[in-house]
Chains A and B, each alone.
Chain A
Amino acid sequence: MSSHYEAPIRKPLIIGDKNYHDVTVDVARPVEGRANKQWWIAFTIALAAFLWGVGCVAYTVGTGIGTWGSNKTVGWAWDITNFVWWVGIGHAGTLISAVLLLFRQKWRMAINRSAEAMTIFSVIQAAMFPVFHMGRPWLAYWVMPVPNQFGSLWVNFNSPLLWDVFAISTYLSVSLVFWWTGLLPDFAMLRDRAITPFTKRVYSILSFGWSGRAKDWQRFEEVSLVLAGLATPLVLSVHTIVSFDFATSVIPGWHTTILPPYFVAGAIFSGFAMVNTLLIIMRKVSNLENYITIQHIELMNIVIMITGSIVGTAYITELFVAWYSGVEYEQYAFLNRATGPYWWSYWLMMTCNVISPQVMWFKKIRTSIMASFIISIVVNIGMWFERFVIIVTSLHRDYLPSSWTMFQPTFVDAGFYIGTIGFFFVLFLLYSRSFPVIAQAEVKSIMKTSSEKYKKLHAAHDNHSHSEHNH
């Protein structure tokens, strides 16, 4: 791929005196060791939240959607808010593995595995909302264009909600394949290291007989590149289609053309924040601080800062154009956001999304782990409120004042949301104990250009040869 020469000005991505074997051992350790007490505590809490969520969903399906706080005016509220939030979070994984691959960003290698895992687990959470917010979820299969006995009754392909079905299912499948392909060499590594027959068997099945021949590697790289090329437009189109749910409507505050790219920017923004939250903990508990370095965190913070600024520009654009349009409904929609009954959610969103990423301009803050962790959580709160504000404040007051109303979530709304957070962490905790959380094969490929050890060697060598070259 790229040249083996690397400018000395670039900082090392693998620190400590690591060789290839060290990488293997460090990545395999969490998988081969036993879970500690903290893991079990975290897992129990996540499982409890998940089961509570299952109960809430069962209650909703059994009793009816009226158990939620949605009403005749505000037909969409927490369900879609959480859906968009989870889909948005899922975007960073593909962005890190696909877009950063296309841009040849070597720093992605330590974080892409976990980011993709996060994508897959959050898309699974997201996919539950479209099903369970249906009044009759047992008829959900009707959204599929399958031949049937109703004189072949078909779906209408004009609805963005149907596009959502295709977008989300394609996105999940492609991400899963992309992720799994990357896992093959790493599973093979675990297979080859396995001591017990049971783990040997499990990782043999998972690694699909990977033997790491030159031809395999060549095709592996080509497949990764093609999948990255496909996943990039996919990631843009998925959140674009999600944004079409709103932007194709005629609701003031929803119908605006900036939503597609702005949703995508917001998705990258919240997704990177979530990756940061998870990795800051993971590097600590799994002893991976030599691979997920401060530089990685700093670079993720910079992405958060950039996308946060793009989102900020979009907010200002929307506000300006609402005024500029001269359409009183549009103007009122934004006035209502800023000064209406949900003013607090709007200003919370503005503070979290526009102001908090701007502190990243200070190197001190963006290289501070504590500050990054706090801001990453703040960003995700802000992005939840962004979706809430867009959805609820546009619905609860629109064209006819006689239909103006309020929205109040019930415990079932909250329970479902908490359940998905629980489920997400159940999956992520299981993943971190059984999967190689760092793509060791990829990290090894940058060892000779970007590790601290080799950089020192190069520097010593370069000084030597430079003095010869100059004369």
Chain B
Amino acid sequence: MYTFSSRLKTFSFVLMILGVLGIGYSFFTAPKTVEDVEKILAADSHHGGHGSHEGHAHEITTGEANATEVHGQDATEHAIHDKIEHKENLEKHVTGSHEVDSVGQPAHDTAHAEPVVAAHGATDHHADEALTGAGHNDAHHEHLEHVLHQLQNKPWAAVYVAAIFFMLISLGALAFYAIQNAAQAGWSPVLFRVMEGISAYLIPGAIIFFVLLLLGVFHVHHLFIWMDPEVVAEDHLIQGKSGYLNATFFIIRAVIFLGGWILYRQYARKNSLLQDDANDNLYYKKNFKAAATFLVFFIVSESIMSWDWIMSVDPHWYSTLFGWYVFASFFVSGITAIAMVTLYLKAKGYLEFVNTSHIHDLAKFMFGISVFWTYLWFSQFMLMWYADIPEEVTYFVTRIEHYNLPFFGMVVMNFVLPVIILINTDFKRLSWIVVLAGIIILCGHYIDFYNMIMPATVGDQWFIGAGEIGAILFFFGLFIFVVFTSLTKAPLLAKHNPYIEESKHFHY
């Protein structure tokens, strides 16, 4: 039996406390009013800032960043500039709308659905208005309001990214566990208890995440702009999706998915423990069937989950590949977590039968799925970049413009480095190499999720500060606490699994 070392337990509490402090600080320092924002922007421009605040006097949003590169603060200049650009890019997007919703989607960014001429007319009207002084003030005020919403979103988004990331790591480990069961793998049963331990985090993780979704539905935070009736009233694209994107159905889906995953986890764990004392393979067979059923449920729920909880923060954007891309991201993270927890327990002398061959196999999966993630990342990115269709390419335009380093940096972290580090057979058997690669992969995939959520919620106001790091620390601490507590509940070797002997003698 494993005993939770008191040092690790203390460490997890320290992480949680530090995390809460960081999260609290970020909420406390988030601006409350437009005046606060003005101060922050003024301070920022003194220090040079990091974003394009100068250009921000005019609206830049996901939907129009490419069409409205704004170069000055002077509203007149903008308006003229806009007007010219529009005449040149008549077929392009509706831009320059000052009807800004809570987080900055242009309220009628519907270029691809509305007749171009009408849209153009609207822009002209706006441009004329902006020429007047009143228009200038309005514009400035609305800009400030927009930044205010982004900055208010920031602590929420930080918590949201960390919450979904750690929950999905646990789900990734659970999916891996189900695959190992369904595939009748002979090498991995000695690791089953580790996987079960990691999947234990799914329960608290899912509950916290569900609360975050509920807070969105009750308008406590505004990460999902389609939940804002004012936005929807003016955005006919979102109106078109409201049959799917509505709070009730959204919550029902979340309950089904989270509930289904937890149900499988609890059922599989129960059978796995019962199999320890069994004389036949009844519980093994039950788990085999449960794994196959879960995997069917998983492929469907996972796809829809990714549309709901990640893709819908950009409600104008869509990609058919998205669900599988998200899957690859958390699946590799889940496998990495399994490898790292295994190495920790092995180093503490708890996993008698785990040898370097098991680590080698896990490292191969880390390597292979990292490449698979890159394949999907590239497929999604390249196809949109290549076709350059305005309504979908904006997704990458905003990321490349405002998130250049995280966006391309994660490709280095999630692809280049794991491939270089883990291609060597001997290296895959060295603990410190696997841990090194694992840390890079986990950080890289956190940034991947960061890149998915942040551009739509905080725009160019992103920064990895107290809130983000605090949220990571809090959920990391909680993850350690829950996972290692769960590991103490049962022996670390799954006895009487029909493949356990194969697994104990596994050598590659």
Contacts and interface: CB of A to CB of B under 8 A. Distances in A.
Nearest to A325: B318
A234 interface: no
B507 A3 contact: yes
A327 B391 contact: yes
Nearest to A236: B375
B506 A3 contact: yes
Contact of B303 (A2, A236, A256, A313): A313
Contacts of A240: 375, 379
Interface in A1-24: 1-3, 5-10
A6 B498 CA distance: 10
B299 interface: yes
Given A9-B498, A255-B389, A318-B320, A247 B300 contact: no
B380 A3 contact: no
B387 A327 contact: no
B113 A328 contact: yes
A140 interface: no
A145 interface: no
A10 B501 CA distance: 13
Nearest to B321: A257
B397 interface: no
Most buried by A among B322, B324, B371, B507: B324
Given A3-B507, A9-B498, A258-B320, A326 B240 contact: yes
A314 B327 CA distance: 14
B323 A317 contact: yes
Given A7-B498, A7-B499, A9-B281, A321 B371 contact: no
Nearest to B389: A250
Contacts of A237: 375
Nearest to A232: B368
Nearest to A361: B292
A209 interface: no
B508 interface: yes
A5 B502 CA distance: 6
Given A247-B383, A250-B387, A313-B303, A5 B501 contact: yes
Nearest to B391: A327
A211 interface: no
A150 interface: no
Nearest to A244: B383
Contacts of B281: 9
Interface string B156-197: 000000000000000000000000000010110000000000
Contact of A326 (B186, B187, B241, B375): B241
Interface string A298-342: 000000000001100110011011001111100000000000000
Contacts of B321: 256-258, 260-261
Contacts of B320: 256-259, 314, 317-318, 321
A317 to B, nearest CB: 5
B384 interface: yes
B17 interface: no
Query: Majority SS of interface residues in chain B?
Result: helix
Contacts of A320: 307
A317 B300 CA distance: 9
A317 B319 CA distance: 10
B241 A5 contact: no
Interface residues of A, number: 38
A261 B377 CA distance: 11
Interface string A204-241: 00000000000000000000000000000100110010
B244 interface: yes
A237 B382 CA distance: 14
Contacts of B508: 1-2
A288 B389 CA distance: 54
B28 interface: no
A317 B318 contact: no
A317 B305 CA distance: 12
A442 B323 CA distance: 39
B260 to A, nearest CB: 16
A324 B237 CA distance: 9
Given A1-B508, A257-B379, A324 B241 contact: yes
A317 B326 CA distance: 14
A249 interface: yes
A248 interface: yes
Contacts of A261: 321, 324, 375-376, 379
B300 to A, nearest CB: 6
A310 B501 CA distance: 33
Contacts of A328: 113
B318 A258 contact: no
B286 interface: no
A255 B383 contact: yes
A9 B499 CA distance: 8
B441 to A, nearest CB: 18
Interface string B390-419: 010000000000000000000000000000
Contacts of A260: 321, 375-376, 379, 383
B112 interface: yes
A309 B295 CA distance: 11
Contacts of A2: 186-187, 506-508
Interface string B258-282: 0000000000000000000000010
Nearest to B325: A257
A257 B319 contact: yes
Contacts of A7: 186, 498-499, 501-502
A5 B498 CA distance: 12
Nearest to B299: A313
B415 to A, nearest CB: 12
Nearest to A322: B320
Rank and list the top 8 A-B pairs by shortest CB-CB distance, nearest first. A258-B320, A257-B321, A260-B379, A9-B498, A248-B386, A326-B240, A3-B505, A257-B380
14 contacts: A6-B502, A9-B498, A250-B387, A255-B387, A255-B389, A257-B320, A257-B379, A258-B320, A260-B321, A260-B375, A260-B383, A317-B323, A326-B113, A328-B113
Interface of A: 1-3, 5-10, 233, 236-237, 240, 244, 247-250, 255-261, 309-310, 313-314, 317-318, 320-321, 324-328
Interface of B: 112-113, 184, 186-187, 237, 240-241, 244, 281, 296, 299-300, 303, 307, 318-324, 371, 375-376, 379-380, 382-384, 386-387, 389, 391, 498-499, 501-502, 505-508
